[in-house]
Amino acid sequence: MNEPPRSPAPDGLDPFDGADGFDGADGFDGAHGLDPLEIRASAVRGPHRRFGLGGWIALAWMVLLVGAALLAPVLPFADPDVSNAAISRQGPSSAALLGGDANGRDVFARMVYGARASLAIGLGAIAVGLVVGGALGLLGGYYGRKVDAFVAGSFDVMLSVPALILALAFNVFLGPEVRNMIFALGIVAIPQLGRITRANTLAWSQREFVRAARAQGARNGRVILREILPNVLPAMFSVALLGVGVAIVAEGGLSLLGAGVKSGTITWGTMIAAGRTELETTPWVVLAPATAIFLTVLALNFLGDAIRVRFDVREAAL
Amino acid sequence: MIGWQRRRLVILVVSLAIVVVACGGGSSTSSSKSSTTAATGSGKPALGGKVVYGVESDTGGGYCLPSGQLAISGVMVADSVYDPLTWPNEKGAYVPYLAESITPNADSTEWTIKLRPGIAFTDGTQLDADTVKLNLDTYRGKNPNISSSLFSLVLKPITDVTVTDPSTVVVKMSAPWVAFPAYLFSFGRMGMMAKAQLADKETCPRNLIGTGPFKLEGSWTPGTPVELVKNTKYWRKDANGTQLPYLDGIKFVGVVESAQRITQLEAGQLDIMHTHFEPDLAQLEKKAAGGGIKLTIGTKGRENRYYLLNAGKAPFDDPKAREAFALALDRDEINQLRNLGRATVADGPFDKGVPGYVADPGFPKHDLTKAKKLVDEVKAAHGGQFKVTFVILPDSENRNEAELLKQQIEKAGITAEITTVDQTAEISTAISGDYNVLLWRNHAGEDPDTGYTWWHSGELTNFGKIKDPEIDRLLEQGRVTSDPAARATAYEGVTKEFAKNIWNVWAWYVDWGIATSPKVHGILGPPLPDGSQPFPILAGLHPTAGIWVSK
Amino acid sequence: MRRITGKLVRLVIVLFLVTFGTFMLIRLFPGDPVKRMIPYGTNLEAQRAKLRAEIGLDEPAVQQYGSWLGGVVTGDFGKVYPSRTPVSEVLRSAAPVTLQLILYAQVLALLVAIPLGVLTAYRAGSWLDKTASASAFGLLSIPSFVLGLYLAYFAGARWHWLPAGQYVKFSTDPVEHFRSMALPTISLAAGQIALYMRLLRSDMIDTLRENFVTTARSKGLSDRRILWRHAFRPSSLTLLTFAGLNLGTLVGGAVVVETVFSLPGLGTEIYNAIIGQQYVALQSYVLFIAVGYVLINFAVDFLYTVLDPRIRHERASA
């Protein structure tokens, strides 16, 4: 296997190396080999070089969000399902931080409770993608030949359908439950995370120390787990964080398309979908979850990039 | 890339782009503002002009009327293109419209429909008895070519439709049917169609041929706005002898969001709009007070917003469960949150002024303590379970209401789940009984006999699977009695029986508002052929033949 | 040549899998679709049997697939029930709207991103570069439908700058057409602008470091000439290829943005099909998008393969 020629500059982008067809020898199989996460990852290169203030703010937001979501039942938030006529259709006030919706429910409370489901969906989907996609990518990248052809081929086929459409189809087919949403988005995440794992595995597999380990007779499983995986992990995690953001956005998009979780479960997406028709009269109902999504994606992008910088993830992914 | 290659690529891409743009797709959801040709005379209708009418949705099912179950948006279009045989006047009586006369025999088992002479469809064919027979037979499901929907169930009592001469049709019933003329209207859904439209099942939904004030010109895709033009050969004239309709054209555009309809009305993209959403009606009233728009709200014979319970299976086959449900609901709070407290809470199916209305029939008032107690009793009798599934349409209005109901009954210990389906699936669900509660709107108008199909045991359209011998008896009585006082008493009995057995939970009477730009007049319609005024806004329905625009 | 045949073979395999997958969609949904399409009426069973035959649900699966595919190839995508409108008609009406949105978004994105990308690469490290990069980072993080909601509310409903929630055909009124498409296009393009700008910037920075640039400078060529005629040209190919590959994400984004702005395109039709449980129609929409995407990807890939050697040659000789 040839090592793909490296680009000269550290943050350069040379996607057109080693485009030599369907033997899957390189991570970048011709122009159509890029998947949405890779494009995203390459572009989300923050203007900073160190963790910096932005990174800390991002981290703080995520900690705050996850904390609030986990501890919501014990924290002094209003009940997100209870109707309070006094705040019904009222904007932000002292009674309700972010106003009340048409049913008189506290929008701030709903946003926090919505975080629970939305984060669960985002994290769950990426977890599925990481585990399944990662495993497949490792196996394909390491073993090469037929295994890799199968793995790379499957990824290519799955990437051939626009992600939203794939998720939509699975979601509609399976039904409007949170776990089905996780499954559907997880399926979409598998090839995206798998490709990056595979590309990284390919590059690392050719390194001297790996070859040495194999020459010394170490078993394949051991090599994968102890030599390759730890080196591939940073790249995977970096992209995974971006992926969580993408999955949360996807949940929002699917809800707007009518394929969201069922009525009664609060997610940011369903809040937006439900409040959309009264956008003009009660905009806060929609703008609150929308802003929450924005801030979360922003924070995740920051963090994902920070990890990439911290562990100096090489462009072998691309 | 090499210069010439790149140039070629650019040319290719640009030409492709031009094709995509010019091919243009979709259908404009707005159009230019209405214009007028005639002016003059405050009060005297001017000829010409077009209006754009914003309705709740574009009708996706098409207009093969016997196969459809049109909502108000579709009915407005249907009644612009087709004419039904009867029309309700402001007193609530169903008078002959397309028909010249509709006369019963002594015991109302036989009705003779005499048609007006010289009326033609827009394809030139005459409105004759054969065509009317074809229509009626299709509606009652006797036409193998075109399937009939709920009409076939509702019109079951008809045994025979005969043509006695080119302009007379005799309809025979299996039993006396005093309110038959109301059924010939069927809330504007029973227009008369030309033979040509009924001939081809494939094109029937889109090939609209009627006798109405407007007609469809050119092709139309269901689910998109309908653009109608004046039917120059319309059979009706106004009191001064002027040919109706006044307008040159009318376009119906579906705008799902009520708030957006208001915005578009103010911006001039719409000339007329309707809504039943109380917060928006409040907003419209304010704007009307300022003179920016005109608003007319229908205050008579209002339809009922209610919660249809499925008594055919657990838990609502148990009367205690139904009572617990009604007690747990706080209909005043629902009215407050959903309608800003503006609507009138209903305790029975009929609006004030309709025979059968009872001021206080004893419908259970909100009582959480009593509800909790009953819930416990129900749970004890049913293995600790009291769970209901709401089946609703997916729009946010319904969703918000269902979530409010869920939250209210959960306080009493009833667990709930909400499932969303679309309009067609909702009827399918209703028939199959795959639900516990449906959020429904129905029972508009003046004749309470229309409740027969909904409440009489054994009827397929009795979605709630109501089995109440007393209600059955009273409905049968009301159907055959021609004495108005006796009928009223019978239907009052029905209301009281509903309050006792709680087959449905009545929520409120729905106010429909028609808002127009100040230039639009005549929405309540021209006088009916017999001189009386048409019913003023029947659950949003009003004639379009009399609309005119001033300069 | 062998590479091209390889890609063709792959194309056929992917098309087969995609079409088969969407075909199976309708048969995998829970419940009986025919019962849902004809819930009541006279001669119920007879009507349903007729419909079942019409859709092909009474044949064995493989035969169904064949006849369905045959129908699709000849343009028969089935019908929407109960209006019996041919789905092809709906597609003909809705697809151009979505295509227009995607096209305008790409054009706008490129128009804005190219000058910005070149400029920031030229002035790498300056405050302009840092500001632009930071803004790009922010824009990348805001989901297109979230931006759409903000724009619809502020620019549309509050300040009435541009219309939101209507669509005017180009043939009806060109000016109104573009006005009605402005907000949706901006929503969709914003993220792409950021993406393309950063990609172009990266690539240009690399190119500007290469020998031929120093040579050109020493020859006395103006900066402007170097930038646009020598540095931009190879980078533009990268950018265009990215833009082509990005169409997949754009399709997903366009479909969701459409529902935010009530544009009568494929997004709205998909929504209607899901809510109305019109699985025959949904199948066709999914198919249309998926196949279109596959073909475009293949075309971009193929285009690149054809042009690639010349690029390498051009660069090497420069």
pLDDT one-digit tens code per residue, B420-474: 887 777 887 888 888 999 999 999 876 899 899 899 998 888 999 999 999 999 9
The band of C306, judged by pLDDT with boundaries at 50, 70 and 90, is: low
CB contact under 8 A, B28 and C166: yes
- C212 pLDDT more than 80: no
Q: Write the CA distances from B380 to B375, B384, B426, integer angstroms.
A: 8, 5, 32
What number is the average pLDDT over the span B480-502? 94
Q: Which residue, among C304, C261, C249, has the nearest Cα to C148 in the 3D structure?
A: C261
- CB B409, CB B388: distance < 8 Å: yes
Q: Rounded CA gap, C228 and B339, in Å? A: 63
pLDDT one-digit tens code per residue, B508-542: 999 999 999 999 999 998 999 999 999 999 999 99
Decide: helix, strand or coil at residue C284.
helix
- B549 pLDDT more than 60: yes
pLDDT one-digit tens code per residue, C62-119: 787 788 788 888 888 887 776 778 888 888 888 999 999 999 999 999 999 999 988 8
Comparing B235 with C225, the larger pLDDT belongs to: B235
Q: Which of A34, A47, A175 sits opposite C245 (nearest CB)?
A: A34
Q: Which of C38, C170, C264 sits opposite B21 (nearest CB)?
A: C170
Q: Rounded CA gap, B533 and B246, in Å? A: 18
Structure tokens at C302: 């193929």
Structure tokens at B264: 């578009």
The amino acid at C104? Y
The amino acid at B459? E
Put simply, whether A85 touches B (Cβ < 8 Å) is yes
Q: What is the pLDDT of residue A290?
A: 93
Put simply, the chain C residues between 11 and 30 with a CB less than 8 A from any chain B CB are: none
CB contact under 8 A, B424 and C169: no
Strand pairing report for B249-254 and B226-230: antiparallel
Q: Rounded CA gap, C297 and C18, in Å? A: 14
pLDDT in tens for each of the 318 residues of chain A?
233 333 232 222 222 222 222 222 222 333 334 556 666 666 665 555 567 788 889 999 999 999 999 999 998 888 888 888 888 888 898 888 899 998 889 999 999 999 999 999 999 999 999 999 999 999 888 888 888 888 988 888 788 777 787 788 777 777 788 998 999 999 989 998 998 888 888 888 888 888 888 788 878 788 888 878 888 888 888 889 999 999 999 999 998 888 888 888 899 999 998 888 788 788 999 999 999 999 999 999 888 888 887 776 654 433
Q: Rounded CA gap, C315 and B261, in Å? A: 59
Q: What is the pLDDT of residue A308?
A: 80
The half-sphere exposure of B152 on its side-chain side, counting CA atoms within 13 A, is 18
Place of tokens 């390459």: A42
* Chains linked to C by 3 or more Cβ pairs within 8 Å: A, B
Give C-chain residues touching B222 at CB under 8 angstroms. 80, 83, 85
Residue B315: is the preceding peptide bond cis (ω within 30°)? yes
* H-only helix segments in B382-468: 396-412, 423-432, 452-455
Q: What is the pLDDT of residue A89?
A: 87
Q: Rounded CA gap, A254 and C143, in Å? A: 13
Strand pairing report for B294-298 and B520-521: unpaired
pLDDT one-digit tens code per residue, B29-65: 433 332 232 333 346 888 999 999 999 988 878 899 9
Reported pTM: 0.82
Q: What is the pLDDT of residue B518?
A: 94
The amino acid at A239? V
* H-only helix segments in B24-71: none
The band of C29, judged by pLDDT with boundaries at 50, 70 and 90, is: low
Other CB atoms within 10 A of residue A2 CB: 10
* Residues paired with residue B110 on neighbouring β-strands, in sequence order: B172
pLDDT one-digit tens code per residue, B106-118: 989 999 999 999 9
Phi, psi of B545 (to 5 degrees): -65, -25
- Chain C interface, best mutation among A165, A277, A300, by max C CB count within 10 A: A165
B222-247 in b/e burial notation, b at 16+ Cβ within 10 A?
Answer: bbbbbbbbbbeebbbebeeeebbbbb
Q: Write the CA distances from A90 to A65, A86, A96, A98, integer angstroms.
A: 25, 8, 9, 9
CB contact under 8 A, B60 and C40: no
Put simply, whether A36 touches B (Cβ < 8 Å) is no
- CB A103, CB A112: distance < 8 Å: no
The amino acid at B201? K
Q: What is the pLDDT of residue A16?
A: 27
Place of tokens 């107690």: B373
Structure tokens at B24: 């243009």
pLDDT one-digit tens code per residue, B353-402: 899 999 999 999 999 999 999 999 999 999 888 999 999 987 778 888 99
Give C-chain residues touching B58 at CB under 8 angstroms. none
Structure tokens at B37: 């040709």
pLDDT one-digit tens code per residue, C164-188: 777 778 887 888 889 889 999 999 9
- CB B318, CB B378: distance < 8 Å: yes
Q: What is the pLDDT of residue C13?
A: 81
Q: Rounded CA gap, C272 and C266, in Å? A: 10
Place of tokens 């229509």: B135
Q: What is the pLDDT of residue B347?
A: 95
Residue C82: is the preceding peptide bond cis (ω within 30°)? yes
Q: Rounded CA gap, C133 and C20, in Å? A: 44
- B274 pLDDT more than 90: yes
Distance, in angstroms, between C145 CA and closest chain A CA? 7
Q: What is the pLDDT of residue C25?
A: 67
- B407 pLDDT more than 60: yes
Distance, in angstroms, between A64 CA and closest chain B CA? 29
What number is the average pLDDT over the span C259-264? 86
Distance, in angstroms, between A276 CA and closest chain B CA? 8
Q: Rounded CA gap, B489 and B545, in Å? A: 37
Q: What is the pLDDT of residue B7?
A: 55
Mean model confidence pLDDT for chain B: 88
- B152 pLDDT more than 80: yes
Distance, in angstroms, between C297 CA and closest chain A CA? 6
Comparing B469 with C220, the larger pLDDT belongs to: B469
pLDDT one-digit tens code per residue, B297-310: 999 899 999 999 99
pLDDT one-digit tens code per residue, B326-348: 999 999 999 999 999 999 999 99
CB contact under 8 A, B26 and C39: no
Q: What is the pLDDT of residue A22?
A: 23
Q: Rounded CA gap, A194 and A141, in Å? A: 10
The band of C307, judged by pLDDT with boundaries at 50, 70 and 90, is: low
Distance, in angstroms, between A81 CA and closest chain C CA? 24
Q: What is the pLDDT of residue C207?
A: 80
The amino acid at C114? I
B–C CB contacts, 8 A cutoff, strictly below: 160
Q: What is the pLDDT of residue B38?
A: 31
Residues near C86 by Cβ (< 8 Å), separated by ≥ 6? C76, C77, C78, C79, C80
Distance, in angstroms, between A204 CA and closest chain B CA? 34
Q: What percent of chain B has pLDDT over 70?
A: 92
* Chains linked to B by 3 or more Cβ pairs within 8 Å: A, C
Could you give the ipTM of this predicted complex? 0.80
Q: Which of A15, A169, A293 sits opposite C143 (nearest CB)?
A: A293
Where would I find the beta strands (DSSP E) of B129-221? 158-165, 168-173, 214-216
CB contact under 8 A, B428 and C93: no
Q: Which of A12, A19, A257 sits opposite C308 (nearest CB)?
A: A19
Q: What is the pLDDT of residue B40?
A: 30
